[in-house]
Structure 1
Amino acid sequence: MRLMFLAALLLPLPAQAFTAQNGMTAVQTGPSEISVIHDVRRADTDYWCAAGDFAQRALGLPGKTRIWRASPKPRGAGEGIIFTLDPAKAAKGAGLSQFGSGQRDGSIPAAMAVGSYCRVIVPYFD
């Protein structure tokens, strides 16, 4: 029994899920990739919030860290969005155009994603 427990500790663990402040779930799916899991009734900006919150709180990156959308537009029904910290992996034409973001490459700083797009969502009950 003890040997089985120790063997279980050696198995690779799945990526740790992170709950962003808007209630969405994000996970790190690669060295520079953040996947935000699909959630019904959410706008694309809610996904940016979750990615920025993950970058800052889960990865400990500074607020000035830039985030790009890696998933091409449009997002299919039932699909989440993948974001990247690597500009070479950015999907062409899938970023945000923001005044004051400092760059026109579709990226925004993590702090701007959190400060501009994070809002508390009240659960919808049928």
Structure 2
Amino acid sequence: MRMIALLLLALPVPASAFTTRNGMEAAQTGPTEIAVAFHGGRTDTDYWCAAGDFAQRAMGLPVGTRLWRASPKPRGAGQGIAFTLDPARQAEGAGLSQWGSGPRDGAISIGAAVAGHCRVLLLFWQD
């Protein structure tokens, strides 16, 4: 399964890719798979934001839907990250550390991915 995730990330994201609220590109690559293309200078949490935003806005899924990382850690230089909605396809040990209540399965809800990992960018300019 890791090989499949790596092969998906080696391919360019389709032209029909969705631009997420943090400016990254995401696309559905299978019935339960989401690929977020590489974007320099971004942290892993930016990829979680993009995957959650894609699942919520492009796929129309409810905010309580669980999201797992399908790409093994560590992410290679120049590689994006694959995510899955299927717990059977998660990469072992690649999930997020969690605090508080709820399942400790390495997943977070797509609502938590967006609310907790999508940073608000404020742009200031002078006329």
* Length-normalised TM-score, structure 1: 0.82
Q: Judging changes above 3 Å, is the alpha-carbon distance between structure 1 residues 107 and 69 closer, same or farther for their aligned structure 2 residues?
A: same
1:6-21 mapped onto 2 (5 Å cutoff): 16-21=16-21
- Partners of 1:15 and 1:88 in 2: how far apart? 28
Gaps of 5+ in 1: 1-13
Corresponding residue number in structure 1 for 2:93? 93
CA contact under 8 A between 1:15 and 1:28: conserved in structure 2? no
**In the TM superposition, what whole-angstrom CA distance separates every residue of 1:19-78 from its partner, at most 9, and x where no partner exists?**
110111100011100000000000000000000000000000000000000000000000
Taking only the aligned residue pairs, the percentage that are identical comes to: 68
Q: How far apart, in 2, do the equivalents of 1:88 and 1:71 lie?
A: 13
4+ aligned runs moved over 3 Å, structure 1:
120-123
The runs of 5 or more residues in structure 2 that have no matched partner are: 1-13
Aligned to 2:107: 107
Q: How large is the Cα RMSD of the aligned pairs?
A: 1.7
Structure with larger Rg? 1
Paired residues, what number? 110
What corresponds to 1:5 in structure 2? none
